[in-house]
Chains A and B, each alone.
Chain A
């Protein structure tokens, strides 16, 4: 399978704990995006990378959130001191900019903070 993969698919944690999610993009895709989706809503942009550079961060990304893409391939999203409001689906997408950019989404990581 050469699609976008995310790990884990599900995560249950207690409030105050730290969690880390991983995203493996489609090979050779130079852009990688993180979105968050709550129940009944469309995804909201969090941040994106072009190669290893983080080029944009949403105001939604508080100081407790950090994302990395150290070698321009896989990416991690860490949430420190989780809160119940962090419960959501975290989606990763990758793309390559040619004439037109198309983002391909992974299956997401469902986070539940108790």
Chain B
């Protein structure tokens, strides 16, 4: 079974631009979550989607948005990029929700904002 696939792996953008990151979950998984990883703040939760509905949202500004499609694939968008948005963005999928459906992570998209 293929794992969680994130594209692209690396991305370089300029301040003020916007970016869209893509995530394809494991086949059959209906829940997708996004996390931001930085050296200073560590791993922080962004969003959780289940069956195309945003179920939970972290404490990030409105510039960060996401969505999930009917095939469970997900995208996240960051508008008006800031230098501090440079991070590794990790997507994770699970069959359902809750602690008995642990998250399976992709290898991430490393975003650099210059």
A and B together in one complex: no
Binding site for A on B (CB under 8 A): none
Residue positions of A touching B, CB distance < 8 A: none
